[in-house]
C-alpha cells in the first residue's frame, strides 16, 4: 500500500514538473493590439508592426450554450399499468361491463410484466429561460400503451352502439388492449449543471395532452386463433397526464400518470407508465 502511495505521489510531482517545462521547442511570440495595428515581438528580433487586416488571428470558440436546442427521435421503453377507481356493481358500470356474474376488479387486472409502454418522440426542444438552469421543454410524438390482461380474464371488447365489454366463452392465451396517442408534452426543466452536458443532474415536470388515433383488442386462442377488434370500443379520445423526467448523468428515466379516464363510459381507470428514456439530454 505504501509503495502504491509513494508511486502516485512521485508521478504527480513529475507530471507537475514536466507541465511547467516548455518542451515544444516553439519560440514564444508576444502580440499586442493597438487600435487597428498589431505589434509582433519575437525573441532576438525587432518589433514588427502590421495592420490588423494583414494578420490572421484564430477566433476563440464560444462556450455559451444555445438558447434553443433540439433533440430528434427520442425513444422510451417502459411498463404501464392502471389505477382502477371503478365502482363495480353500479348501474353505469354494468351497462358497459356485461356478464353474469357481474364484473369485479379482478376481471380487469393486468399482467404487470407484460404490459409494455413504448413512446417515440419525433423531436423535443429545450428553451432557455434562466441561465440554462431553468428551461421550457416541449415536443411531439406518439405514445403506445399495451394493457395485457391476465390469462384467466376472458373479456372481449365489442364495437357497437353503444360499445361494451363482455365475458367471452373461450380462454385466451393472449388478450390485450392497445391504445395509441399523438401527444404533446410541456415541461419545466431544471438543470443543476448546465455546462456539463448530459453528465450532471436534471429533472423535468409538467403535463401532456394526447389524442387517441388508434385502439384495438388483440386476442389469441386455440379455438379462434388470432383476432382483433378495432373501432369505437369505448375509450376516451383525449388524454391529459402529468409527466416527469429524471436525468442522472447519461441515464434518463421518465414517468407519466393520466389525469383523465382511459374510458369515456362505464368504468374509471387511469393509466400510468415508468421506464427508461434514450435521449441526449
pLDDT tens readout for residues 73-96: 999 999 999 999 999 999 999 999
State residue 40's pLDDT score.
63
State residue 199's pLDDT score.
77
Say how far apart CA 268 and CA 47 lie, in whole Å. Answer: 85
Say how far apart CA 62 and CA 59 lie, in whole Å. Answer: 9
Q: Do residues 235 and 264 lie in contact, with contact meaning Cβ atoms separated by under 8 Å?
A: yes
State residue 54's pLDDT score.
58
27: cell is: 519560440
State residue 28's pLDDT score.
52
State residue 21's pLDDT score.
42
Cell 364484473, residue located: 103
State residue 247's pLDDT score.
94
Say how far apart CA 198 and CA 278 lie, in whole Å. Answer: 12
Residue spans of the chain under pLDDT 50: 1-26, 61-62
State residue 135's pLDDT score.
97
State residue 200's pLDDT score.
84
State residue 53's pLDDT score.
56
CB-based burial, 68-97: b 16+ in 10 Å, e otherwise? ebeeeebebebbbbbeeebebeeeebeebb
State residue 136's pLDDT score.
98
155: cell is: 373479456
Say how far apart CA 217 and CA 199 lie, in whole Å. Answer: 42
State residue 81's pLDDT score.
97
State residue 123's pLDDT score.
97
State residue 14's pLDDT score.
40
State residue 46's pLDDT score.
58
What domains are defined for the chain?
A: 28-56 (no CATH), 68-278 (2.40.128)
Amino acid at each position: 500500500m505504501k509503495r502504491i502511495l509513494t508511486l502516485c505521489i512521485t508521478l504527480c510531482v513529475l507530471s507537475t514538473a514536466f507541465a511547467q517545462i516548455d518542451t515544444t521547442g516553439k519560440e514564444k511570440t508576444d502580440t499586442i493590439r493597438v487600435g487597428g495595428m498589431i505589434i509582433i515581438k519575437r525573441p532576438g528580433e525587432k518589433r514588427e508592426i502590421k495592420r490588423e487586416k494583414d494578420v490572421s488571428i484564430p477566433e476563440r470558440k464560444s462556450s455559451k450554450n444555445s438558447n434553443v436546442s433540439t433533440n430528434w427521435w427520442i425513444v422510451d421503453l417502459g411498463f404501464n399499468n392502471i389505477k382502477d377507481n371503478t365502482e363495480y356493481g353500479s348501474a353505469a358500470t354494468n351497462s358497459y361491463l356485461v356478464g353474469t356474474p357481474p364484473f369485479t376488479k379482478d376481471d380487469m387486472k393486468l399482467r404487470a410484466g407484460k404490459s409494455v409502454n413504448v413512446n417515440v418522440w419525433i423531436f423535443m426542444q429545450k428553451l432557455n429561460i434562466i441561465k440554462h438552469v431553468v428551461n421550457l421543454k416541449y415536443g411531439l410524438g406518439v405514445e403506445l400503451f399495451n394493457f395485457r390482461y391476465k390469462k384467466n380474464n376472458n373479456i372481449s371488447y365489442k364495437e357497437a352502439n353503444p360499445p361494451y365489454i363482455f365475458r367471452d366463452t373461450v380462454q385466451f392465451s393472449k388478450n390485450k388492449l392497445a391504445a395509441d396517442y399523438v401527444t404533446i408534452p410541456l415541461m419545466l426543466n431544471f438543470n443543476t449543471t448546465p455546462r456539463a452536458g448530459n453528465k450532471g443532474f436534471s429533472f423535468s415536470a409538467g403535463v401532456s395532452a394526447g389524442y387517441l388515433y388508434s385502439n384495438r383488442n388483440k386476442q389469441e386462442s386455440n379455438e379462434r386463433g388470432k383476432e382483433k377488434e378495432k373501432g369505437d370500443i369505448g375509450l376516451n379520445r383525449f388524454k391529459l397526464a402529468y409527466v416527469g423526467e429524471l436525468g442522472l448523468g447519461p441515464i434518463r428515466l421518465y414517468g407519466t400518470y393520466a389525469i383523465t379516464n382511459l374510458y369515456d363510459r362505464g368504468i374509471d381507470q387511469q393509466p400510468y407508465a415508468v421506464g427508461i428514456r434514450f435521449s441526449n439530454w
